[in-house]
Structure 1
Amino acid sequence: MRIECLVASHVRQRPEAVAVRDQQGRALSYAELWRRSGRLAAALNRRGIGRGDIVVIALDRSLELVEAVLGAARSGAAYVLLDPVSPPLRNAHIVADVRAAAIVETAAPAPWRPASDVPRIVLPLDGDDDPDGDDAGSFDAADLAVGDDDLLYVAYTSGSTGRPKGVMASHRAVTHFVADTALVELTPSDTVASLASPASDATTFELWKPLASGSTIVVLPAIAELTVEDWAPLIERSGLSVMFVMPGLLELVAREQPAAFAGLDTLVFGGEALDPGTARRVCEAGKPRRLVLGYGPTETTVFATSFDCTAESIARRDRIPLGTALDGYDLAVLDPGLRAVPSGETGELCIGGRGVADGYLAQPHVSAERFVDHPEFGRIYRSGDLVRRLPSGDLEFVGRLDRQVKIRGYRVELEEVERSVLASGLVISAAVERIESPAAAYLACYFVPLPGAAPENPAVALAAAVATRLPGYMIPARWIPLPQMPRNGIGKIDRAALRGLPSADRAAAEPRP
């Protein structure tokens, strides 16, 4: 089923229900959103844009973004969302890479929008792009011959070096995620926060999941505009019931206001590891009804596993498990030869099922390396994540294949070192990187001290704490305190920025030979 068909059912049943609203008091009912998106779909088709084409949407989170995403889907075309915090040159690369048929934007200038000769469609529509006005709102895509396996969107992976990869998600994959998985069961009475960067695949959860469920999307202010004290009243004032956050934001807020999210029904977090201590603080302060870790690479359409965090489920854990598979996903833990490893042993997590993407746009060789046919498990995505299966059946994250480094001839999993630093109880967050040096490569730990817990010499205290858990070659040689972690546009730690910090050469501890 095409994803917009799920939205159409709520347009028929509850046309006056609010589909999306923002903090400025603007709102669109399901009927009005359907009319506006229909006019955009008609405008695209009049330009000859439809099935097989890709439309670039250069809009930040807004009512217009929801209109554009639904309009592109109804036109039969696929779409790609640009990241407002990405450099214009990167966004220009994406426009060229997808061979964009059009760019949808607003008239307001934005420096992150790439210079390009690709035709523009400006919202709100007028003039040549909307000759029929409201009459175009009844646009019907039934005759476009768009099927379940047609492309719905392309999501570009973040934080990669070299050429970024465009992950291709079909209507089938997205419809499966929003309609068939039980990560969060939404109803028409739910209100879902729109908080993630448009370019993040979390947008699929924040926009398509509520639209397919008849819920209301609430566009929140940018994170940079909010203080820690703003979150609890914002959630109450906005009437939010469901929200997705990155662990970095959850750590920041929970440090000072652990009950800030207690007014929610469900808080989902994911994208990178969260210190179990943060989750425990939230649980002890009166957590939302559900506090859920959602895990899944972009290549498997948002989330493939989940784990419910409660005071009991995370007690005495030094890491939060990835949990178990969502409906329709198959998980296999395999060795380098793609053979299943015994339970409890470490292997690469490979994911199959209806949510697996169709590969990378225009990169068949890379697609063939990561999306493979397995004789037992069918078509699977090789995630590059190292995991092991616990006796409970939950999967536990161990590290990344591409973050395994050599130090003095020993193999080191950087995530294992980071977890040990977090377990010290002296830091809010930590990131460990391998630093090249003329003498010898060494490990550097960048950390944000926990206020009130950090001793006079945190480098010495941290090294001593980690030494109780790790062998000497795994102990960072340099410790670099930071006021906060640098993060990229979707909230993940910006590791390239860390490695470029000049303070790495002026840290408290000298490298050991």
Structure 2
Amino acid sequence: YAHQDLPFEMLVARLAPERHLSQAPLFQVMFNLLNIDGRLPDDKTELPDAELAAEADFDSGEESAKFDLTLYAIEYDRTIQLHAVYARDLFERDTVGYMLGHLTNLLQAIVADPDVPLARLRLTRQLPSGSNTVAPMRPFIKFSGQAIEQSIGSRFREQAERYRDSIAVHTKNEQLTYTQLEKLSNRIANALLALRGTGEERIALYFHHGWQMIAAMLGVLKAGKTYVPLDPAHPVSRVERLIADSTATAVLTDIDEFSTEQAQVISFVENERFDVNPPPPVPPDTVAYILYTSGSTGEPKGVVQTHRNVLAQVRNYSNNLHLCAEDRLTFVASYGVDAAVQDIFGTLLNGAAVYPMSVRDHGIEALIDCLIEQEITVFHSAPTIFRHLVHALTGMERLEKIRLVVLGGEAVYRRDVDSFRAHFPRDCLLVNGYGLTESTMALQCFIDSKSTVVRDAVPVGYPVNDIEVLLLDDAGQPADVYCTGEIVLHGSFIAMGYWRQGSIAAFPSDDGGRRLYRTGDLGRRLPDGSIEFIGRRDFQVKIRGYRIEPSEIENHLLEFPETKQAVVIAQEYAGERRLVAYISMGSADSPDSADSGHPPADDDLRRHLAHRLPDYMVPSVFVLLEKLPITPSGKINRLALPVPEMRDESFVSPRVPAEAKLVAIWQQMLGVRHIGIHDNFFTLGGHSLLATQVISRLRDEFGVEVPLQQIFETPTIADLASVVMAAQVANTLLPKIEPLPRWRHRAKISALGELVFSSELKALLGRFAANDMIETHVEERAQ
């Protein structure tokens, strides 16, 4: 206390710390030990102002807390009382109460066992448990536990016999009944057995997003073989690498241009010459699929799952969501991720209808039309797609058929709940799920119109049946309430392991065969027993629902000529997460990056990665630095990496009206104010989902149709404006479509079987006819 008389303001002025209005300078948490001789004063106003006490509450005389948190320990009469003053904007009352309880328990434990290491002392005497209090009320046929002791194909055959003429798969141009899909998948299975034999092997699937892909998956499973999904949107080099790593012996495809030297290529149409009789049944412990995710070693890693485990995951998904034959489910994810397992098999193994919809190919507007026109009941997507969806809604849409909005793959926030309540029916439920490729589904949180969401992050909820979710601290002990711990999954239906060099590297398991998987995700248990996701213990990130290991991107950047160092991180920008790559150039044996000559352009780096990685793994921004910052231990200091500077010295303002309109569109879509005509759409934070919205705006503003691929080929304002102006000259301008309620756009069938148009739709078609955009008149089209 030698300097206790030094004025606090003088100390702040001399130290000159970085100031922020949201917090006090120098420190935000204070501990104050007060010694009071004799007894505790009767007049509590003599005590420091407080909000919460360890034993009894009393009113505070403070209008606001001086610091984020102040803990007073008041010593008197051989006892200690604890009182906390806290900022209500930062802490909930229950949270501070738990903190005081933790400290009290810790102090009591220290007195009881003074020789025990602090790390082994418990802060919470008993961890809370709980379950979802909100659940769907719709009647359904329960998916029984015995039903998992069979193959996926056998379960589907049961549904095909029960719902013969019901729609199984519905796309924009095609639909298949359960009978048709059963026969088609049998043909594919018999074709594979005839062409490849009965042995177990991997069959890669290379399909566009549609019914053929779903039929192929079922066919491979019925043949007793393992399917390995490949995405045509991925670079050829990545596709070839997955074929090699999985040791696939054949590739089944409906894309005529596909070829490979590594495996036999089987055309989808080959099935037409084989019979429709069901093949022999497959044991439930047969491997069903290998799904590849981004790997921390720099190479993709394949997750191996069996028929029994898939059925167990589908059983939980079905029973928790009350899926039934009357449901219509969207399928917007890539069929190479675990969300596809929920959407496809959650539908087809319950007699419901699945609606494949590629947002990448058709855009958000087409997804909205699908929700309305097809009367979807269960919508499932990553939170990023959900946010783009609600942003595109006008408030006039009829979405009353949707009973469940299921989100997963990324963190969900309170603002998402607000958007959900603003656009979906009051009896609709929001489901926030947590799952990984290794487990598909582990936790679920159900929210209805009455649920209270007090925290910014929405919990991922409670464990599903047959899986135990542990939160372990650094000492391997269960983490206490509000304390951070690694999420560890323990159960019989977790994936078998990873596919490595032609065999399965199994996950560890206990004596009962229940596997243990350390996710690397961090979470905390809340007082009601639910779990909140808070991040990663490593550098893994999720972008638009895809799991990404930055090291895989970094390895490919290091292959670029003269690249010396590379690090990739995820940053928040305009409300979304984006990847940013930091690079230093110079030959490996030269410490001076100046020896590398001319630095590479962003487009060169982007093109280099685009030939090797999926588009969601290509960073939006590239930052060239002379040297990357390092920690005292010699590691790259990710926290010291500079925030990318968006402004370019070559900034050029719009020169013509078309460029000015495009700048305004980009500003609205990207949330960026300062945009020049030579700025790159993707450097500014754009991605394929935003590109589909830009395409829609181009049609409205300029009356021209521009393909989505054009954004990738001409990603600057100047180049895109040239394309748009050329299209305006070459084509008749399309009439601008006014935003009418979507439910009015549909024609109906009269009792006589004739098409009946609404007056709004007649007027809309009439405007196209007046511009020679259709060949016949409205009246002729209706006949």
Per the shorter chain, which TM-score range?
0.7 to 0.9
- In structure 2, relative to structure 1, the CA distance for the partners of 1:222 and 1:453 (3 Å cut) is closer
Between the aligned partners of 1:249 and 1:53, the Cα distance in structure 2 is 35
Unmatched 5+ stretches in structure 2: 1-149, 542-568, 584-624, 630-636, 647-665, 675-681, 691-783
Alignment partner of 1:43 is 2:191: yes
CA contact (8 A) 1:386 1:397 kept: yes
AA of the residue aligned to 1:15: R
- In structure 2, relative to structure 1, the CA distance for the partners of 1:404 and 1:291 (3 Å cut) is closer
The structure 2 residue matched to 1:78, chosen from 202, 205, 226, is: 226
Larger mean Cα displacement after TM superposition, 286-295 or 53-62: 286-295
CA contact (8 A) 1:22 1:220 kept: yes
The superposition leaves residues 75-121 of structure 1 with CA deviations (integer Å, 9 ceiling, x where unpaired) of 01110111122111111111111111211111533xxx462341122
The structure 2 residue matched to 1:232, chosen from 368, 372, 376, is: 368
**Partner of 1:193 in structure 2?**
330
Where 1:47 maps in the other structure, the secondary structure is helix
CA contact (8 A) 1:41 1:71 kept: yes
The structure 2 residue matched to 1:428, chosen from 575, 591, 607, is: 575
AA of the residue aligned to 2:536: R
Where 1:235 maps in the other structure, the secondary structure is helix
**Partner of 1:57 in structure 2?**
205
AA of the residue aligned to 2:205: I
**Partner of 1:372 in structure 2?**
508
AA of the residue aligned to 2:472: L
Deviation at 1:348, TM superposition (A): 0.6
Deviation at 1:342, TM superposition (A): 2.2
Where 2:192 maps in the other structure, the secondary structure is helix
Between the aligned partners of 1:330 and 1:315, the Cα distance in structure 2 is 25
CA contact (8 A) 2:428 2:448 kept: no
CA contact (8 A) 2:578 2:685 kept: no
CA contact (8 A) 1:72 1:79 kept: yes
Aligned counterparts, 1:127-276, within 5 A: 130=273, 133=274, 136-142=275-281, 146-158=282-294, 162-181=298-317, 182-228=319-365, 230-257=366-393, 263-276=401-414
Where 2:497 maps in the other structure, the secondary structure is coil
- In structure 2, relative to structure 1, the CA distance for the partners of 1:178 and 1:452 (3 Å cut) is closer
The structure 2 residue matched to 1:299, chosen from 407, 414, 438, is: 438
The structure 2 residue matched to 1:22, chosen from 171, 175, 180, is: 171
Between the aligned partners of 1:60 and 1:221, the Cα distance in structure 2 is 9
The superposition leaves residues 316-343 of structure 1 with CA deviations (integer Å, 9 ceiling, x where unpaired) of 3211111111112110011345332223
CA contact (8 A) 2:188 2:216 kept: yes
With structure 2 as the length reference, what TM-score do the two structures score? 0.51
The superposition leaves residues 414-449 of structure 1 with CA deviations (integer Å, 9 ceiling, x where unpaired) of 99x95xx8xxxxx432458695753734245689x9
**Partner of 2:484 in structure 1?**
346
**Partner of 1:464 in structure 2?**
none
Deviation at 1:186, TM superposition (A): 1.3
Deviation at 1:375, TM superposition (A): 8.3
Where 1:307 maps in the other structure, the secondary structure is strand
**Partner of 1:408 in structure 2?**
none
Where 1:360 maps in the other structure, the secondary structure is strand
Between the aligned partners of 2:467 and 2:198, the Cα distance in structure 1 is 30
Between the aligned partners of 2:534 and 2:445, the Cα distance in structure 1 is 16
Deviation at 1:451, TM superposition (A): 5.7
- In structure 2, relative to structure 1, the CA distance for the partners of 1:69 and 1:430 (3 Å cut) is closer
Alignment partner of 1:87 is 2:235: yes
Alignment partner of 1:102 is 2:250: yes
Deviation at 1:67, TM superposition (A): 1.1
Deviation at 1:456, TM superposition (A): 7.7
AA of the residue aligned to 2:264: P
Alignment partner of 1:285 is 2:423: yes
Between the aligned partners of 2:259 and 2:256, the Cα distance in structure 1 is 14
CA contact (8 A) 1:179 1:212 kept: no
Between the aligned partners of 2:255 and 2:582, the Cα distance in structure 1 is 45
Between the aligned partners of 1:404 and 1:104, the Cα distance in structure 2 is 32
The structure whose RCO (Cα within 8 Å, separation 6+) is larger is 1
With structure 1 as the length reference, what TM-score do the two structures score? 0.75
Corresponding pairs, count: 435
Alignment partner of 1:390 is 2:526: yes
The superposition leaves residues 333-368 of structure 1 with CA deviations (integer Å, 9 ceiling, x where unpaired) of 113453322232111101122330000012699946
Larger mean Cα displacement after TM superposition, 166-175 or 230-239: 230-239
Between the aligned partners of 1:186 and 1:402, the Cα distance in structure 2 is 36
Alignment partner of 1:122 is 2:246: no
Deviation at 1:262, TM superposition (A): 5.6
CA contact (8 A) 1:347 1:386 kept: yes
Unmatched 5+ stretches in structure 1: 406-413, 422-426, 458-479, 489-513
CA contact (8 A) 1:33 1:67 kept: yes
Identity rate, percent: 25
AA of the residue aligned to 1:394: S
Query: For the aligned residues, what is the CA RMSD?
Result: 3.5
The superposition leaves residues 275-333 of structure 1 with CA deviations (integer Å, 9 ceiling, x where unpaired) of 32132122133357122111111011x22111123455453321111111111211001
Alignment partner of 1:484 is 2:686: yes
Between the aligned partners of 1:333 and 1:101, the Cα distance in structure 2 is 41
Deviation at 1:202, TM superposition (A): 1.2
Deviation at 1:227, TM superposition (A): 4.1
Deviation at 1:394, TM superposition (A): 0.9
Between the aligned partners of 1:103 and 1:455, the Cα distance in structure 2 is 44
The superposition leaves residues 201-223 of structure 1 with CA deviations (integer Å, 9 ceiling, x where unpaired) of 11111211111001111222443
